[in-house]
Amino acid sequence: MKRLGVLMALCFAILFFAPTPAVAVQQEIKPFVQGTYQQIVSARQGKPFILGFWSLSCGYCKVELAMLKKLARKYPKLDLVLVSTDTPEEEKMVSATLAKLSLNKAETWLFADGYADRLRFEIDKKWYGELPRTYFFNTNGEVKAISGKLEQGEVEQWIKEQYGLR
């Protein structure tokens, strides 16, 4: 009987002092449909922010997301909105990718309209789907669109200018 008590105490100690595994925070991903773009822009009127479009199948997108992660950590005031152009069926993979890159703080969306061309046209009539596609909104509401890989130094300079940092 004494052995059973010692064994139970040992098991309790192991369970109590064992490190608990980190629980991955589930990324809230909202459905991006017609009207969402205007909703995002209107909610940030007069405030600078970056709106980035990406996809799981885009190699440069993952490099850009990693860079944005570094910049978001360095500049906590950075308002970052990320939109995956993948399908709703890929939401778990999108969420896992964002969690792996620790981009949980960014507002995230996922194309939820079966007709992606309509969404792209609503966002930018000159955008034909090339990725990554990034939009820089300044405090005056002016927008600069860039397709392809971003240069970290240029993005960082924009952040400093928009947020009054030196």
pLDDT-based confidence at residue 27 (cuts at 50, 70, 90): low
* Contact between residue 83 and residue 133 where contact means Cβ atoms under 8 Å apart: no
Question: Token digits for 63?
Answer: 């490099």
**Mean pLDDT to the nearest integer, 112-121:** 94
Task: Give the pLDDT confidence of 61-84 residue by residue, as tens digits.
Answer: 999 999 999 999 999 999 999 999
The predicted model scores a pTM of 0.84
Residue 37 φ/ψ, nearest 5 degrees: -55, -50
> For the chain, how big is the Rg over CA atoms in Å?
21
* Contact between residue 139 and residue 47 where contact means Cβ atoms under 8 Å apart: yes
pLDDT-based confidence at residue 114 (cuts at 50, 70, 90): confident
Burial class (CB in 10 A: 0-12, 13-18, 19+), 120: buried
**Domain parsing of the chain, residue ranges:** 27-162
Task: Give the pLDDT confidence of 30-56 residue by residue, as tens digits.
Answer: 999 999 999 999 999 999 999 999 999
Residue 20: the pLDDT is 36
DSSP, residue by residue, 55-75: -TT-HHHHHHHHHHHHHHHH-
Assign 6 to helix, strand or coil: helix
Task: Give the pLDDT confidence of 137-146 residue by residue, as tens digits.
Answer: 999 989 999 9
Give the class (CATH, top level) of 27-162.
alpha beta
Residue 105: the pLDDT is 84
110: β partners: 31, 84
User: Which H helix or E strand runs over 37?
Assistant: helix 36-43
